[in-house]
Amino acid sequence: MKHLSKLLAILLAFTVVAVACSSDDDTSSSSTSAPAATEAPAETEAPAETEAPAETEAPAETEAPAEIIYDHGVTEDTIKIGAIADLSGPFAPLVVQIIAAQQAYWDRVNANGGIAGRDVEFWVEDNAYDVPTHLERYEEMSDEDNGVVFLSQSTGSPHTAAIAEALVEDGLGAIPLSWYSGWPDPAFGQNVFESYTNYCYEAINAVDYLATNVIEGEVKLAVLSYPGEYGQDGAAGAKIAAEALGIEVVYDGEGAVVPGADQTPVITGLTESGANLVWVTTGPSLLAELMGGAAAAGFTGTWSGNSPTYNYMLLATALAPMLDSSYYQSTYVLTWNAGDTPGMADMVSALQEAIPDDPVSDAYTIGWTEAMAAHQILEAAAAAGDLTRAGVIAAANATTVDYMGLAPNQGYGGEVNDYIVRESYMFDIQADLFDAAATISGGGSTGSVLMNGGPIVSDITAAHVYEGACFTAG
């Protein structure tokens, strides 16, 4: 295998304890009694049920030129794209839903004539959230004879970092399921086309928003995170916000939350710090353990964290009252049925037809928008008459993806500070809206209610000059 030895060497350089969607496989592990819920902020209202208008249709196909050149992953009849996804590892429950949304999207594209008269073949392989396995799957998908023309998903920060150099060698592009702030750096993620904003900017936005709009009086911040690109990138953003706003960080637990370790020292440090705002960059089961342990020790502060930290299914556990009263959800995209946008109506309508009996989930928006980005890039390449791998990358660098209101639009070309996405979203958790049995056909909510009417961006984030990742390992 032409890249495997080199990729394994790269792997050694990127081995970390926790990343993009860090080791976290049990969102119902907390049985600690939580304090009674307080009412949600008066100004926050539950959105009305979103229904797709009858006339909503798939995006119009771009007329292709008479002749299109192509090389790997494309024939006269098919366009093969790939996803290296966690289908059996710690994040399988959510990633399976992300992939289901992508599959439904591509099925609809094919039902409407495909791209340039070609059906899209969606090839999915499981990496089990394991970097060596990811490398093996990449070796298969990058093959010049039987591989793909584009990766619409590469799950994980170290996983994608381990293939970043090979992507350039193979002239192959990839959309990462990871929001590390290093991807926009051309020296690091040249062929990695990130979606939405990053962990660092998300943390700045949320800490600023909560300090300004939710916390009364002096803000004292605690930062808790996994080690590695995911955890410490989010922690770096929280500290950037604290420094700019003059907020004291009374407990610095950056990198201190190690999966599988005893979290008692972290919980003790937090509860004795005097913090009234906690920023967390972990996974859902560690969030449950930290919040439950802190509540048992009498801690009553406000909590929030980077998007992968929270899973709406925690509302099916004993933690629900505390989440309702104390947790604010930060995200990169709109959650299920939140926001009256054309994209939400279109996605909900399509999934009601494709997978009506599946449960509602916030994860669908991520898969749907990943597919939207890949679709628009491939349409642009076809319109330019070049469906080679190089042509697809050129099209990506010249495309601004229109997410139809599901997320802030995303561009990749030109100077990074002109296109990097800086906006994110904040949601209030309202446990009474959550129904664990809700299905797509039946509607329902994941208990997340949009705040501020749309995306937020801190003045700090808006003014930040991007020169590389907020956190770099070693």
Confidence of residue 37 (pLDDT cuts 50, 70, 90): very low
Report the candidate in 327, 322, 314 with the shortest Cα–Cα distance to residue 297: 322
pTM for the structure as a whole: 0.86
Residue 1 has pLDDT above 80, yes or no: no
Question: What's phi and psi for 9, nearest 5 deg?
Answer: -65, -40
**What are the DSSP E strand ranges found in 270-413?**
277-281, 302-305, 327-331, 386-387, 400-401, 410-411
Report the candidate in 84, 289, 313, 317 with the shortest Cα–Cα distance to residue 303: 289
Interval 108-131 mean pLDDT: 97
Hey, where are the domains in the chain? Answer: 4-19+55-197+338-408, 199-331+424-463
Amino acid at 141: M
Please provide the CATH number assigned to the domain covering 4-19+55-197+338-408.
Answer: 3.40.50.2300
Query: What is the signed CA dihedral for 309, 85, 195, 359, rounded to 10 degrees?
Result: -60
pLDDT in tens, 225-259: 999 999 999 999 999 999 999 999 999 999 999 99
In terms of C-beta density within 10 A (0-12 exposed, 13-18 middle, 19 or more buried), how is residue 353 classed?
middle
Amino acid at 381: A
Confidence of residue 92 (pLDDT cuts 50, 70, 90): confident
Confidence of residue 373 (pLDDT cuts 50, 70, 90): very high
Distance CA 258, CA 281 (A): 11
pLDDT in tens, 380-402: 999 999 999 999 999 999 999 99
pLDDT in tens, 188-225: 889 999 999 999 999 999 999 999 999 999 999 999 99
Confidence of residue 90 (pLDDT cuts 50, 70, 90): confident
- N- to C-terminal Cα separation, the chain: 29
> What was the pLDDT predicted at 223?
98
Longest dimension (CA), the chain: 70
DSSP symbols for 101-138? HHHHHHHHHHHTT-BTTBEEEEEEEE-TT-HHHHHHHH
Residue 75 has pLDDT above 60, yes or no: yes
pLDDT in tens, 351-368: 999 999 999 999 999 999
pLDDT in tens, 444-459: 889 999 999 999 999 9
Question: What's phi and psi for 192, nearest 5 deg?
Answer: -105, 115
Contact between 173 and 193 under an 8 Å Cβ cutoff? The reply is yes
Q: Between β-strands 150-155 and 78-85, what pairing exists: parallel, antiparallel or unpaired?
A: parallel
Which residues face 251 on adjacent strands? 222
Residue 156 has pLDDT above 50, yes or no: yes
Interval 90-110 mean pLDDT: 94
Mean pLDDT of the chain: 88
Q: Which helix (H) or strand (E) holds 252?
A: strand 248-253
Interval 329-338 mean pLDDT: 96
Which residues face 278 on adjacent strands? 222, 303
Residue with the two structure tokens 């943390």: 203
Shared fold status for 4-19+55-197+338-408 and 199-331+424-463 = yes
Confidence of residue 17 (pLDDT cuts 50, 70, 90): very low
Contact between 3 and 169 under an 8 Å Cβ cutoff? The reply is yes
Distance CA 391, CA 58 (A): 24
Q: Which helix (H) or strand (E) holds 224?
A: strand 220-225
Interval 11-22 mean pLDDT: 37
Distance CA 105, CA 113 (A): 13
Distance CA 225, CA 234 (A): 8
Confidence of residue 142 (pLDDT cuts 50, 70, 90): very high
Distance CA 165, CA 385 (A): 27
Which residues face 150 on adjacent strands? 81
The answer regarding whether domain 199-331+424-463 maps to CATH 1.10.510.10 reads no
Min mean pLDDT across 21-30, 112-121, 335-344 is at: 21-30
